Amino acid sequence: MLFFHALIALLLATLTLSCPPPYNDMRFIGNTTHTSYDLIQAVHLNPDFGWNELVIPTGAVNQGELWPCGDSGVAVVSMCFRDAKADAELADFVFDSVNMWLDKLNFPSSDRGHAVKFRVHIKPDGSGPEMCYDETGHWNPINDSNAVIIRSDRGLPYKAAATVGYRKTDARRHHNEMYLNPEKLEEGDKVTVAHEWGHVLGLSHEHRRDDRDDWLDYKCENVVGYEEARRRVEDAGVHGIDEVCESAELWYRLGFVGYAFTKNLWGNDEKAEKVTRKGPFDGNSIMLYHSYQGVGKDKDYNKYTDVPLVKWRNPGHKTHPKGRTADNCFKYRPLEDVSDGDFDAIKDLYPWTG
């Protein structure tokens, strides 16, 4: 309970400062073909993916962008639980994961160099957070109309899913959402949920950066669903499997979620995911998938040859090995914290200017 009150104190802190408007060209994982609803359905249609999280790309209208400045001049990321059930099942994961970001960000200020904060509204008696909806199913007006709705979804085949960046919305039609499966979340999965908060803030996957091949080796053939996708491609005779491996759009059309690894995005291949981090590749980013995610069913995740992603032992060069060996690469385990590079990315997206 002490932790809860300490966290809430941070969440509710208010400061007055200036914040620049959202970058006109700052769009995150904009999907010009599919809505968030379409992709939520895709999650349920692919129950064998077997990994931690799936990002829900934003739709064609009001694509995900930076969270806007509030009246105080701070970009406020507001949140609420869908209902008391979601609160009871997910509060520890949600608040622990937010606290991971707060430990790194602290308060928005000139010293910290950023202008973003989280907010949750607390019940008058201090017993806990206000729910998004009241018992009649109507929006609770105490909450911000653009709040991220935290939903408990036992039907979700994964642990977590979230929209990327900010979607302009109102209390009647929400587009800022996080889905968590309480039956799949385990002790320690605050890291998984913290990864989702990175997406909510606008961060894209580190392994989808344009320069990722200088730091990582990616093998499309090791991703779950590859063999079935290859068979469908061969039967159709329109595209080659190499094209599919490079295109998020083609992966999706085939009904698979291998697009989570591609550098090219949704029919907009000239704009690979390099927009949210101006600095060098961050091998410690909480936004980086680890070696054991998305491994195909016929693969042995104990072998460095069989996992989708490995790190180069001598990274950062435009010329890198053409194949994996025990001497030139290694598997890496899940990361456990928000990195300094993640912090730098937030300062880049939401800089302090006051």
List, as one string, the DSSP characters of 326-348: TTTEE--PPP-S--HHHHHHHHH
The residue among 247, 220, 248, 250 whose CA lies nearest residue 236 is 250
Contact 346, 201 (CB under 8 A): yes
Q: At what angle do helices 340-349 and 190-201 cross, to 10 degrees?
A: 20
Q: Report the distance separating Cα 63 and Cα 204, nearest Å.
A: 14
pLDDT at 171: 55
Looking at per-residue pLDDT, the higher value among 231 and 269 belongs to: 231
The least confident of 115-129, 206-220, 266-280, 326-340 is 266-280
Strand partners, 179: 151, 161
pLDDT one-digit tens code per residue, 180-196: 999 999 988 999 999 99
> What's the DSSP call for residue 266?
T
Give the Cα separation of 119 and 144 in Å (integer). 9
Do 79 and 120 form a contact (C-beta atoms < 8 A)?
yes
Distances (CA, A) of 350 to 6, 138, 207: 24, 33, 22
- Report residue 245 as tokens: 């491996």
Are 323 and 332 in contact by the 8 Å Cβ rule? The answer is no
**145-175, pLDDT tens digit by residue?**
899 999 999 988 889 988 888 877 655 566 7
- Report the C-alpha gap between 316 and 60 in whole angstroms: 35
Q: How confident is the model at residue 272 (pLDDT cuts 50, 70, 90)?
A: very low
DSSP state of 196: H
How far is it, in rounded angstroms, from Cα 272 to Cα 255?
21
Using DSSP's 3-state secondary structure scheme, residue 44 falls into helix
Beta carbons within 8 Å of 83's beta carbon, 6+ residues apart:
131, 132, 133
Q: How far apart are CA 55 and CA 57, in angstroms?
A: 6
Specify the pTM.
Answer: 0.81
Task: Spell out the alpha helix ranges (H) of the chain.
Answer: 2-12, 36-45, 84-105, 190-201, 226-236, 241-246, 248-253, 340-349
Residue 140 amino acid letter: N
SS3 54: strand
Q: What is the pLDDT of residues 220-230, one digit of tens each?
A: 999 988 998 89
What is the phi/psi pair of residue 44, to 5°?
A: -70, -25
pLDDT tens, position by position, 38-75: 333 343 334 333 334 444 443 322 335 889 887 777 99
Kindly give, in sequence order, each residue whose CB lies less than 8 Å from that of residue 284, ignoring residues fewer than 6 positions away. Answer: 335, 339, 340, 341
Taking the C-alpha atoms of residue 350 and residue 20, their distance in angstroms, rounded to an integer, is 8
Interacting residues of 308 by C-beta distance below 8 A, sequence separation 6+: 218, 219, 220, 222, 223, 261, 289, 291, 293, 294, 295
Number of C-beta neighbours around residue 211 at 10 A: 14
pLDDT in tens, 277-308: 567 899 999 999 999 988 998 999 999 999 99
